[in-house]
Amino acid sequence: MSIVSKVLLRADDELRYPTIAELNSIGSFLQTGAQRLRIATLLTENEDKIVKKASGELWKIHPDYISPGGNAYGQRQRAQCLRDYGWYLRLVTYGVVAGDKEPIETIGLIGAREMYSSLGVPLVGMADSIRCLKDASLALMSKEDADATAPYFDYIIQGMS
């Protein structure tokens, strides 16, 4: 949910107009709209490149994952890992566009730890994979855009740790 929706729902729940501080926060949110859309576009247009670079880095950190018996051994398992990496990258774009971590929480993190644990996927590997996605993504951005994007990756990493 965006800050606009949150402010309006909170004010409506309390049967009042938005406060000046709340309106100012909406103004700040709107002023960063072009940046947030630029970041989301960059991530979207470079998904394949980012996922390829991130997975290559992850396999260097955890070569056992792609070795016989590893969670990403074989074409099918590796494809599932890459699919998940793209999914988490997409979650980051949702957070960036909304200017809020709530979409990441509600769409992506609720139950993810339990699901990966039940499948025998090492959570340390999931956190490392998100770190690799973060590094590959931020390398394509200006410092200002990277600073605005990093907290969304960090939120997922924290959720997987």
Domain CATH for 79: 1.10.490.20
Whether 101 and 71 map to the same domain: the answer is: yes
pLDDT at 111: 72
pTM, entire model = 0.90
d(CA 37, CA 27): 16
d(CA 75, CA 80): 9
pLDDT digits (tens, 9 = 90+) for 76-94: 888 888 888 999 999 999 9
Range of the domain at 92: 33-160
Sign of the alpha-carbon dihedral angle for 100, 26, 138, 53:
positive
Whether 49 and 14 map to the same domain: the answer is: no
pLDDT at 108: 76
pLDDT confidence of 74, banded at 50, 70, 90? confident
Residues of the chain with pLDDT > 90, as a percent, come to 70
Structural domains counted in the chain: 2
Whether 94 and 125 map to the same domain: the answer is: yes
Whether 17 and 38 map to the same domain: the answer is: no
More confident residue, 105 or 150: 150
Whether 27 and 47 map to the same domain: the answer is: no
d(CA 67, CA 64): 5
d(CA 124, CA 101): 21
What are the start-end ranges of the H helices in the chain? Answer: 3-13, 20-31, 33-45, 47-61, 75-98, 102-103, 112-119, 123-138, 143-160
Residues of the chain with pLDDT > 70, as a percent, come to 99
pLDDT at 49: 98
Whether 6 and 44 map to the same domain: the answer is: no
Sign of the alpha-carbon dihedral angle for 138, 142, 145, 151:
positive
Whether 70 and 4 map to the same domain: the answer is: no
pLDDT digits (tens, 9 = 90+) for 106-158: 887 777 777 777 777 788 889 999 999 999 999 999 999 999 999 999 999 99
Whether 107 and 137 map to the same domain: the answer is: yes
d(CA 71, CA 120): 8
pLDDT at 82: 86
Instruction: Return the DSSP state at 121.
Output: -
What average pLDDT score do residues 68-73 get? 86
